Chain A
């Protein structure tokens, strides 16, 4: 099997939960003061999102705004629990054979599609085959070299060509399942708009108007709800392209809940207001500065090392994230403590950084305050960031100061998100960039998605044989020892070569009106308060 993408960015921003964070019921309504059951039913919950879904097609949809809606309608095999563990959703616990080459999955009993047709293992087989045949999404690469059969209506068995312990948590978590009896009649699956989705979830889409609203009504039967049916009658998603406008809408009562995280300052304001509640979790991704190793000056590891040493992460946390972030000492987020094995990048040391540059022959030969390479080239770099991400603009301003202190000039360049992506993926015309990795799950297999020399997301152009081998080895490693050994090799190569400067892990804040009860917070902003498990139990206090 080719390398696999166990990490994913959910395209826009990220997911989150702190490994240490304990499960909690965020609403105080249920436990202390149980209302009579009948009172909980009814009511509409209006949710603010940041955009329309890119599509309602669950096989091609890839953005977060779409995932929030589609995840309420279509099921995946696995889900995240409140602690960030991957747990079965519509299936029983998967069974992995001893050699790691066979994965057996059994469906839960009695599940039916929203049109009444029973869910069978053939639906899963159909979905995965369609995905693979049409090369849809990054998930299709996970199925490379995998075959599967359906011995009966409830069972599907996957045969892998090499051990891949996180196979089912990867594809099972990320790939939504569609009903074969409807989708097999669709001619062009890739471009199908799916205006009247038939799914298997707590809610079904009944009406929508792009840019205005998406109305979902509850189903009559839902196994995830305490009383077998969601309390809410309706859930309405309303897009607000600007997060500050969304906060104002929450304050004015136009929406009851924010699916997207709100800025730290706004969260603090809302927290101080008795009418609102704020829940926090940690991003499962992180904020970072990537370096284009194809650039003549940046290809010198001394320049990259000095830059890494100049970064003041505490200032980034204080000013760009208003204190709501945690510093990243190494390439793996502190959320995944298991993989914090002491391979930290050089910490903030301005004098040390100056020395690294001086020893490597960089001098300010023209007296303009910016260092020059031995060939005279100025150590001046453009740093691009998306103008829509206000935190990144502040990070850029801090980096300008940080790099100035060691004689490197940074030219901050805001641009439209689409332009930034185009430069990273297509034109490759960039030097430094500030970005967010949305979600990094299954760290042992996900690092290859970012740093393997052939990975699509490796814009840095990092090519390191030892690290490549280690990443592939830890992806297929079965024993813990093997994983950790290769993780160590990989991290040491990162520290030695610094293709990327990780900055901080963001704390995410989600706000809601306190008349909404029964919500639970799930990891990341992909799930947050709007995971099906959370909305399947939520109710409006009368």
Chain B
């Protein structure tokens, strides 16, 4: 058997295994109640994000003086804020900002964390020391003072900037997990086989290692998604977020700073529920995926 045909066979086998695996895993996932709750929660959030313009008009600036701090009623389902603006609209459009922050943060974190983890895990030695050294350093940098400094050096504190920063500081956990599962996969025989067959290193790393090491990474990404929203909320709550974009944290910040934190309960309640829903959905989804992909559970 020459090496070409071995490669061919490996490919076909891989594909087959994958098809079977996915089928089994989807079944497992469908039977995971929490996973399904998370799935529908995330689906709902995505739908709201996409359909926001059809649900309610966005608000901006300020409303009418007599509309200040109205409690929930038919006209304003979630009540109004101290600028006389509809809170339902803010929470709905806030979903968009939150998903946007989550997606940007996750993409940035992936772009940095995955290559570092893969190279550290594959090459080991000095590369590992440097890669994990940088990771450790980033883990120890306190986020908040950095945000303050960032606000000083960037021209604007737009929601994209905030998302970017969150991404830049969320990658270490991804890098660590990628490295760990890369180490595990690297020790497998098929990688050795691939190496001895003279397959290009790039191909080995991205095709054979990354694909097979991706389960825990993927689970971790959903967690990064959830924590990025918490982080965004904290930044906004401190008043360092984008003043013109309504995110849930920003609404909470406005509520707290309004001086009516106790009396206008609706002001803080609805964005809090939204944050909770988001974080729980993504956490449940990650639990479902993790359990479905866990080989121990699959074998049962």
| Chain A residues packing against B (C-beta within 8 Å) | 244, 247-248, 262-267, 269, 315, 318-319, 322, 382, 387-388, 390, 393-394, 396-398, 400-401, 411-416, 419, 422-423
Contact = CB atoms under 8 A, between A and B. Distances in A.
* 5 nearest A-B pairs in the assembled complex, by CB-CB distance: A263-B259, A387-B239, A390-B257, A265-B259, A266-B259
Contacts of B60: 401
A411 B158 CA distance: 9
A411 B239 CA distance: 15
A244 B259 contact: yes
A400 B259 CA distance: 23
B155 interface: yes
A85 B207 CA distance: 81
Interface in B19-63: 60-62
A419 B151 contact: yes
A244 B82 contact: no
Consensus secondary structure, chain B interface: loop
Contacts of B157: 413-415
7 contacts: A266-B259, A315-B62, A319-B62, A319-B65, A396-B243, A397-B62, A419-B152
Nearest to B62: A319
Most buried by A among B60, B82, B256: B82
Contacts of A247: 259
Interface of B: 60-62, 65, 68-69, 82-84, 148-149, 151-152, 155-157, 238-241, 243-244, 256-263
Consensus secondary structure, chain A interface: helix
B161 to A, nearest CB: 10
A247 B60 CA distance: 29
Nearest to A314: B65
A415 B258 contact: no
B152 A401 contact: no
Given A398-B61, A414-B239, A416-B151, A319 B259 contact: no
Contact of B62 (A393, A401, A416, A422): A401
Contacts of B261: 244
Most buried by B among A248, A398, A414: A414
A415 B62 contact: no
A393 B243 contact: yes
A400 B244 contact: yes
Most buried by A among B68, B82, B243: B243
A161 B193 CA distance: 95
B240 A265 contact: no
Nearest to A415: B151
Given A319-B82, A413-B157, 4 more contacts: A387-B151, A400-B244, A415-B152, A423-B152
Given A319-B84, A413-B156, A387 B259 contact: no
A387 B240 contact: yes
A422 B157 CA distance: 18
Contact of B155 (A267, A382, A396): A382
Nearest to A251: B262
Contacts of A267: 259
Most buried by A among B60, B239, B240, B263: B239
Contacts of B152: 415-416, 419, 422-423
Given A265-B260, A266-B259, A387-B240, A413 B151 contact: yes
A413 B260 contact: no
A269 B262 contact: yes
A260 B207 CA distance: 63
Nearest to B149: A419
A267 B262 CA distance: 13
Given A319-B62, A319-B83, A419-B152, A388 B260 contact: no
Nearest to B60: A401
A374 to B, nearest CB: 24
Contacts of A387: 151, 238-240
Contact of A416 (B61, B148, B256): B148
Contact of A419 (B148, B243, B260, B262): B148
A267 B69 CA distance: 15
A411 B60 CA distance: 14
Contacts of B84: 319
Nearest to B257: A390
Contacts of B244: 397, 400, 412
Nearest to B154: A413
Nearest to A262: B259
B259 A264 contact: yes
Contacts of A419: 148-149, 151-152
A66 B197 CA distance: 75
Given A265-B82, A413-B156, A244 B256 contact: yes
B243 A415 contact: no
A248 B260 CA distance: 11
B239 A388 contact: yes
A424 to B, nearest CB: 12
A411 B260 contact: no
B61 A400 contact: yes
Contacts of A248: 262
A401 B61 contact: yes
B144 to A, nearest CB: 10
Contacts of A422: 152
B16 to A, nearest CB: 55
A248 B238 CA distance: 18
A401 B84 CA distance: 15
Contacts of A244: 256-257, 259, 261
B153 to A, nearest CB: 9
